[in-house]
């Protein structure tokens, strides 16, 4: 990697200053004298550079030096992933790692005419996300171009089990976990788009004599463009420490071929079973032909997979504290149908979990499978339901069964919960019947990671359904063994690995302050255009915080609290003879201009922002609540107080 002369000298100066500050030369002289004494007393061979480096590492000199350096500043100068360099410097030589470098992109022909961005200009960007064996990384965003400057390094631990010895070539050959690349494009309005999802088999590096290999990866598009190349990445792989003995390319290709054959055979046998099961289901009733019984679904790469493989038991660690908080998190990921070129209705596309999380938005099926996975992780008996809403629109939601037999529906797009009480069609006409509060009309099937059940009741109307899954006359089940053969973790090499959730990197206070300042500026400018002065009431703005906090708590828990204190504080802050007006609104993004334009479409908000009168004081408060994956609940409240004039 080459640096401009001014950057190189600046980098050298930063490192030199830190080394002087630590008195690194004195420490090195001290360790050198001690090492020479030990070497002479033990009558060993002459002292080598490796012996001296080991002595420095033993004394913790290298660790102290790396901790003292200002990584952000140095990393910016280097223009690469400095975290990877730091890990390599402090790597445990008893652990096997894979250093993956992306050396640039080319042939992104969609951006062939993209103009070179001017300094400081906001432009569309590419971000590369990487997942490997429960580790996730992301590149820095780079401007979209035909040859994007995607240059990053990622250090991937091959063996993460602390008790295990270093992975040898044979052990690594049996590891079929791929490196998952997800390329995301973010436009100038902060809208994200999935460009490509690619699974890289890294084991070719096992045959390289130097332990290093470099090659081009052709990324394909997604959905209807899954057979169209999106672009090419140049990728370098390096094993550290290198293998003492490498494997032949024939051994690696044979292993890969055997894995493909095993996977193909399992998938073939499952398809044969599924066809037989479907024939039996149709023989029960002729009307079953029209029921929404979804056995297979296409992912973003156009590959058909059993729907049960989209659900896994997912534990969020310390990132989510309860099932309801998990539902709130899933609802904050935006809802967007898969894009389709031209007309023809809805495009069929269920996303792998990694692609869904990196993109930050998806269709109802993506939300439902993620919520079901999280609820299973919290120990609930959860299933994804496939059916319809009003006007026969296909939809997916989540169902949980209580130990007392209660059935609860969870709407993954809103985090709303509904208790299901079936209507008894045989009850007398005047007998009271429960009134459904949920928006669902029909249900064709339910499934989770190890169960698939088709609704074979006379009616598929949700309000009439009895969700007794043990009753085979109501629900026809698939063989759990057959499902396990293609859906259990590790059962086939075509099964995408399950990524962990990432902790948020956003600072909620800083994000709230920034967005609030931008909102104040936009309001002031808007009022200036109307020849209105703007006077802010900071105290009133602060009081709005408790209301916004209560709104988010209610969305999380379903319990309303804190409203009395807010009302009392506002009464004290608004003098007699004055009028108070407030307008709260909720967003899933942090784009100030988009949010302000949306607010002005409401007559209530416009009335506050454009308020005219005597002694008008304005207030605005923003609260950004941050969840895993940097999913944000943004609450915004405009308020004003003015003297009432009759």
Q: What's the mean pLDDT in 605-610?
A: 93
Q: What is the DSSP string of 47-104?
A: PPHHHHHHHHHHTTHHHHHHHHS-HHHHHHHHTS-HHHHHHHHT--TTS-EEEEEEEE
pTM, full prediction: 0.83
Fold of 91-160+167-247: Immunoglobulin-like (2.60.40)
Highest mean pLDDT among 111-115, 132-136, 420-424: 132-136
- How many C-alpha atoms does 596 have within 13 Å on its Cβ side? 20
Least confident window among 196-205, 532-541, 562-571: 562-571
Q: Output the pLDDT for position 468.
A: 93
Q: Which of 75-79, 232-236, 270-274 has the lowest mean pLDDT?
A: 75-79
Question: What is the average pLDDT score of the chain?
Answer: 87
- Whether the per-residue pLDDT at 76 is higher than 60: the answer is no
Q: What is the pLDDT of residues 195-227, one digit of tens each?
A: 999 999 999 999 998 889 999 999 999 988 989
* Residue bearing the bigger pLDDT, 251 or 61: 251
Q: Is the pLDDT of residue 422 over 90?
A: no
Q: In this structure, what token pair is assigned to residue 433?
A: 């019947």
CATH superfamily of 508-643: CAP (3.40.33.10)
Secondary structure, 3-state, 379-423: CCEEEEEEEECHHHCEEEEEEEECCCCCEEEECCCCCCEEEECCC
Residue spans of the domains in the chain: they are 5-68, 91-160+167-247, 258-425+433-487, 508-643
Q: What is the pLDDT of residue 10?
A: 64
Q: Residue 505 and residue 309: Cα distance in Å, rounded?
A: 30
Give the model's confidence band at 345: pLDDT under 50 very low, under 70 low, under 90 confident, else very high: low
Per-residue pLDDT, 342 = 58
Asked if residue 483 has pLDDT above 70, the reply is: yes
pLDDT at 2 over 90: no
CA distance 278 to 283: 9
Q: Which of 565-578 are b and which e, b meaning 16 or more Cβ less than 10 Å from the residue's Cβ?
A: ebeebbeebbeeeb
Token match 């998952």: residue? 180
If you average pLDDT over residues 57-70, what whole number do you get?
Answer: 65
Q: For residue 77, name the pLDDT band (cuts at 50, 70, 90).
A: very low
Residue 67: pLDDT band with limits 50, 70, 90: low
> Is residue 19's pLDDT more than 90?
no
For residues 301-316, average pLDDT = 95
- Please write the tens of the pLDDT for every residue from 584-597: 999 999 999 999 99
Res 75 pLDDT > 50: no
Tell me which long-range contacts 23-30 makes (C-beta under 8 A, separation of at least 24). 24/61, 24/65, 27/59, 27/61, 28/56, 28/61
In the prediction, which pLDDT does 106 show?
A: 94
Note the pLDDT tens digit of each residue in 367-397. 999 999 999 999 999 999 999 998 889 999 9
pLDDT for residue 235: 97
Q: Token digits for 58? A: 């033993």
Peptide bond into 644 cis (omega under 30): no
Looking at the structure, give the CATH architecture of the domain made up of residues 258-425+433-487.
Roll (3.10)
% residues pLDDT > 70 (the chain) = 84
Rounded to 5 degrees, φ, ψ at 423 are -80, 140
Average pLDDT score over residue span 464-479: 94
pLDDT in tens, 146-196: 999 999 999 999 876 655 677 888 989 999 999 999 999 999 888 899 999
Higher pLDDT, 115 or 486: 486
């Amino acid at each position: 990697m080459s640096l401009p002369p001014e950057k190189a000298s600046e980098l050298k100066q930063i490192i030199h200053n830190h080394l002087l500050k630590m008195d690194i030369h004195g420490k090195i002289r001290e360790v050198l004298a001690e090492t020479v004494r030990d070497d002479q007393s033990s009558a060993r061979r002459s002292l080598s550079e490796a012996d001296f480096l080991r002595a420095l590492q033993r004394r913790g000199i290298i660790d102290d030096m790396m901790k003292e350096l200002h990584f952000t500043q140095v990393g910016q100068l280097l223009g690469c992933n400095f975290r990877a360099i730091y890990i390599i410097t402090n790597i445990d030589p008893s652990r096997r790692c894979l250093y993956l470098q992306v050396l640039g992109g080319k042939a992104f022909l969609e951006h062939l005419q993209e103009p070179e961005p001017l300094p400081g200009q906001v432009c569309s960007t590419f971000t590369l996300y990487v997942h490997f064996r429960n580790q996730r990384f992301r590149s820095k965003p780079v401007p979209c171009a035909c040859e994007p400057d995607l240059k990053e390094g990622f250090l991937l631990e091959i063996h993460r089990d602390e008790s295990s010895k270093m992975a040898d070539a044979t052990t690594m050959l049996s590891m079929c976990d791929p490196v998952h690349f997800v390329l995301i494009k973010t436009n100038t309005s902060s809208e994200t788009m999935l460009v490509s999802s690619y699974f890289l088999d890294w084991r070719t590096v096992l045959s390289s004599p130097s332990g290093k290999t470099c090659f081009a990866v052709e990324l394909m598009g997604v959905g209807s463009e899954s057979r169209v190349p999106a672009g090419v990445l140049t990728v370098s792989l390096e094993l550290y420490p290198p293998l003492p003995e490498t494997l032949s390319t024939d051994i690696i290709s044979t292993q890969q071929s055997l894995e493909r054959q095993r996977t193909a055979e399992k998938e073939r046998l499952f398809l044969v079973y599924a066809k037989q099961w479907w024939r039996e289901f149709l023989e029960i009733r002729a009307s079953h032909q029209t029921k929404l019984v979804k056995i297979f679904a296409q992912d973003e790469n156009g590959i058909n997979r059993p729907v049960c493989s989209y659900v896994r038991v997912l534990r969020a660690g310390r990132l989510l504290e309860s099932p309801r908080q998990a539902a709130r998190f899933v609802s904050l990921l935006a809802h967007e149908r898969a894009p389709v070129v031209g007309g023809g209705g809805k495009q069929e596309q269920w996303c792998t979990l990694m692609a869904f999380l990196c993109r930050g938005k998806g269709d109802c099926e993506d939300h439902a499978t993620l919520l079901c996975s999280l609820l299973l992780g919290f120990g609930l008996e959860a299933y994804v339901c496939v059916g319809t809403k009003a006007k026969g629109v296909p939809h997916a939601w989540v169902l949980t069964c209580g130990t007392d037999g209660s059935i609860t529906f969870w709407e993954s797009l809103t985090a709303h919960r509904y208790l299901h009480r079936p209507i008894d069609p045989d009850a007398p006409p005047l007998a009271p019947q429960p009134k459904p509060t949920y928006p669902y009309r029909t249900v064709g099937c339910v499934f989770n990671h190890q169960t698939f059940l088709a609704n074979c009741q006379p009616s598929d109307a949700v309000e009439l359904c009895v969700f007794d899954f043990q009753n085979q006359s109501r629900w026809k089940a698939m063989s759990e063994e057959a499902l396990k053969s293609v859906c259990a973790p590790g059962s086939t090499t075509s099964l995408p690995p399950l990524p962990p959730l990432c902790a948020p990197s956003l600072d909620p206070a800083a994000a709230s302050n920034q967005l609030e300042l931008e909102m104040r500026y936009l309001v002031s400018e808007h009022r200036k255009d109307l020849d209105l002065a703007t006077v802010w009431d900071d105290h009133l703005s602060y009081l709005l915080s408790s209301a916004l906090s209560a709104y988010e708590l209610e969305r999380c828990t379903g319990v309303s609290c804190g409203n009395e204190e807010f009302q009392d504080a506002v009464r004290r802050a608004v003098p007699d003879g004055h009028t108070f007006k407030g307008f709260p609104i909720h967003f899933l993004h942090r784009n100030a201009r988009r949010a302000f334009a949306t607010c002005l479409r409401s007559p209530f908000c416009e009335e506050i922002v454009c308020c005219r009168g005597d002694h008008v004081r304005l207030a605005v408060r923003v609260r950004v609540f941050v969840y895993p994956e940097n999913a944000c609940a943004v609450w915004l409240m405009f308020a004003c107080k003015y003297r009432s004039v009759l």
